[in-house]
């Protein structure tokens, strides 16, 4: 595998021709995508980011189950084996502990592995390598060892896959010093954050969502450019508002935007923050928003206890408590293993109507205004 680092490949941009064809367009009103010129799925965004980073840096390689011949369980690595060959797109046996350990060892030697888990639930088999090896080596070596590795794959609930394949690992991995934890929502997020993760000198846990892979989002010419990269640790305000702040990540950002649209029809202006990064967490953006709206609703798919919402709540209590005009509302998954039955599964995962109700409670609008007249 060390031979991979010595190979020199061309640095052509896969999307260069597309850039020539792009024309400026007006920004979408509901979201803050600037000069949106075309649409791209999250799957295409991840694929193009991998392709461009592998083309630009011969030390980058991809490994995991079915990433090569089958082109990825979710087709994220489509076309990469043909372009880069089996030395840089490695099909592994079904042994997460084995290939994750190989990836960490390769990172010790200066390569930049991208380790794909078919689902992050399977990362439990490799969690010792992720936490005790990748996350701690830089500190334990007094900065002498960098571990530039990305662990990526689908995270959280999908549909009908039961308790062992539906967990959200954002809070799990965000608890660990030495890791960076990213949670893309849109195609812009997926493309810009994956590029940043691959270039970063530290281990990055990159939590995607299976149900977002096929969803299309407007992207600008800037996003399409091969030099595009998003900063790690910076949230994005997807929709500005003045009455209540909604924080969310991954698939829940879409739910928050839907809730904000419903609330706007009832006279409540909701500000939606796409966290993008769970560790480091953009506390400054969150607190600035709460100081403006004076209310906060946190949203996540994971279990409520010791969750991301609890950390956000504490951050606001520490830094902006005197600005709060209402108790913080926390929306999370039910505190039970994920049910298999579809009707129970829906009850266990946050829904748009849950967000709307919580925002109304925070704004003291839970009872219709006519009833209080």
Q: Mean pLDDT over residues 223-244, rounded?
A: 97
345 carries an active-site annotation: no
Is residue 21 in a domain?
A: no
Q: What is the pLDDT of residue 37?
A: 63
pLDDT tens per residue, range 38-87: 999 999 999 999 999 999 999 999 999 999 999 999 999 999 999 999 99
Residues 245 and 110 placed together within one structural domain of the fold: no
Of the residues 44, 52, 53, 96, only one is catalytic, namely 96
Q: What is the pLDDT of residue 31?
A: 44
Contacts of 324 (CB under 8 A, 6+ apart): 290, 294, 295, 296, 316
Q: Mean pLDDT over residues 230-246, rounded?
A: 98
Sorting pLDDT into bands at 50, 70 and 90, what band is 367?
low
Is residue 356 in a domain?
A: yes
pLDDT tens per residue, range 168-205: 999 999 999 999 999 999 999 999 999 999 999 999 99
Is residue 373 in a domain?
A: no
Is residue 23 in a domain?
A: no
**Does the pLDDT at position 15 exceed 60?**
no
Residues 73 and 138 placed together within one structural domain of the fold: yes
Q: What is the pLDDT of residue 244?
A: 98
Q: What is the pLDDT of residue 189?
A: 98
pLDDT tens per residue, range 300-354: 999 999 999 999 999 999 999 999 999 999 999 999 999 999 999 999 999 999 9
Is residue 230 in a domain?
A: no
Contacts of 353 (CB under 8 A, 6+ apart): none
CA distance 201 to 281: 18
Q: Tell me the two tokens of residue 341.
A: 């039955």
Contacts of 257 (CB under 8 A, 6+ apart): 30, 31, 238, 239, 272
Residues 53 and 181 placed together within one structural domain of the fold: yes
User: Could you tell me the CATH number of the domain that includes residue 294?
Assistant: 3.40.50.920
Q: What angle do CA 57, 63, 69 make, to 5 degrees?
A: 105
Of the residues 165, 175, 215, 222, only one is catalytic, namely 165
* Domain-ending residue, one of 224, 252, 280: 224
Mean pLDDT for all residues in the chain: 90
pLDDT tens per residue, range 141-152: 999 999 999 999
Sorting pLDDT into bands at 50, 70 and 90, what band is 28?
very low
**Does the pLDDT at position 24 exceed 80?**
no
User: Could you tell me the CATH number of the domain that includes residue 188?
Assistant: 3.40.50.970
**Does the pLDDT at position 22 exceed 50?**
no
H and E: helices and strands count for the chain: 15, 14
On whether the CB atoms of residues 149 and 117 are closer than 8 A, the answer is no
Contacts of 291 (CB under 8 A, 6+ apart): 320, 323
Q: What is the pTM of this model?
A: 0.87
CA distance 348 to 193: 29
Q: What is the pLDDT of residue 366?
A: 74
**Does the pLDDT at position 3 exceed 90?**
no
Give the N- to C-terminal CA distance of the chain in Å, as an integer. Answer: 73
pLDDT tens per residue, range 319-333: 999 999 999 999 999
Sorting pLDDT into bands at 50, 70 and 90, what band is 218?
very high
Residues 195 and 284 placed together within one structural domain of the fold: no
pLDDT tens per residue, range 258-281: 999 999 999 999 999 999 999 999
CA distance 86 to 70: 12
**Does the pLDDT at position 6 exceed 50?**
no
Residues 73 and 176 placed together within one structural domain of the fold: yes
Name which of 282, 284, 259, 279 is nearest 271 in CA terms: 259
Say if strands 112-116 and 60-64 run parallel, antiparallel, or are unpaired. parallel
Sorting pLDDT into bands at 50, 70 and 90, what band is 159?
confident
Domain extent for 353: 236-363
Residues 65 and 189 placed together within one structural domain of the fold: yes
CA distance 215 to 200: 27
Residues 218 and 271 placed together within one structural domain of the fold: no
* Domain-ending residue, one of 176, 197, 224: 224
Better-predicted residue by pLDDT, 9 or 148:
148
How far is CA 219 from each of CA 23, 25, 39, 82, 315, rounded to the nearest angstrom?
Answer: 11, 10, 6, 27, 32
318 carries an active-site annotation: no
What is the count of structural domains for the chain?
Answer: 2
Residues 275 and 185 placed together within one structural domain of the fold: no
Sorting pLDDT into bands at 50, 70 and 90, what band is 14?
very low
Is residue 16 in a domain?
A: no
Is residue 178 in a domain?
A: yes
User: How long, in residues, is the chain?
Assistant: 373
Residues 178 and 266 placed together within one structural domain of the fold: no
Is residue 216 in a domain?
A: yes
Residues 52 and 172 placed together within one structural domain of the fold: yes
Q: What angle do CA 291, 172, 135 make, to 5 degrees?
A: 105
* Domain-ending residue, one of 186, 204, 224: 224
- Minimum mean pLDDT range among 15-29, 68-82, 156-170: 15-29
Residues 103 and 207 placed together within one structural domain of the fold: yes
**Does the pLDDT at position 95 exceed 60?**
yes
Alpha carbon 239 to chain centroid, angstroms: 18
Residues 81 and 134 placed together within one structural domain of the fold: yes
């Amino acid at each position: 595998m060390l031979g991979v680092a010595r190979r020199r490949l061309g640095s052509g941009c896969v999307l260069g021709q597309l850039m020539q064809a792009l024309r400026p367009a007006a920004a979408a009103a509901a979201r803050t995508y600037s000069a949106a010129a075309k649409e791209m799925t999250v799957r295409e965004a991840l694929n193009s980011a991998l392709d461009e980073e592998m083309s630009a840096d011969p030390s980058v390689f991809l490994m995991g189950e079915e990433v090569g011949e089958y082109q990825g369980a979710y087709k994220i690595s489509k076309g990469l084996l043909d372009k880069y060959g089996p030395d840089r797109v490695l099909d592994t046996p079904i042994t997460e502990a084995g290939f994750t350990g190989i990836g960490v060892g390769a990172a010790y030697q200066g390569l930049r592995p991208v380790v794909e888990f078919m689902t992050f639930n399977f990362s439990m088999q490799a969690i010792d390598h992720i936490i005790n090896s990748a996350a701690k080596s830089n500190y334990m070596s007094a900065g002498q060892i960098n571990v530039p590795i990305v662990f990526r794959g689908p995270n959280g609930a999908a549909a009908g896959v039961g308790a062992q394949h539906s967990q959200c690992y954002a809070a799990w991995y965000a608890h660990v010093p030495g890791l960076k934890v990213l949670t893309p929502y849109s195609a812009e997020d997926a493309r810009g954050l994956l590029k940043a993760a691959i270039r970063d000198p530290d281990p990055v846990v990159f939590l995607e969502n299976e149900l977002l892979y096929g969803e299309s989002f407007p992207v600008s010419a800037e996003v399409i450019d091969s030099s595009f990269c998003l900063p790690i640790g910076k949230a994005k305000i997807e929709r500005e508002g003045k009455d209540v702040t909604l924080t969310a990540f991954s698939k829940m950002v879409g739910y928050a935007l839907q809730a904000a649209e419903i609330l706007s029809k009832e006279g409540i202006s909701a500000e939606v923050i796409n966290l993008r990064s769970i560790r480091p967490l953009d506390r400054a953006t969150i607190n600035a928003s709460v100081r403006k709206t004076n209310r906060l609703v946190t949203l996540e798919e994971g279990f409520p206890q010791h969750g991301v919402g609890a950390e956000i709540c504490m951050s606001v209590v520490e830094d902006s408590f005197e600005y709060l005009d209402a108790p913080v509302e926390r929306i999370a998954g039910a505190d039970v293993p994920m049910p298999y039955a579809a009707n129970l599964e829906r009850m266990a995962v946050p829904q748009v109507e849950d967000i709307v109700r919580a925002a109304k409670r925070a704004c003291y609008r839970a009872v219709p205004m006519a009833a209080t007249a």
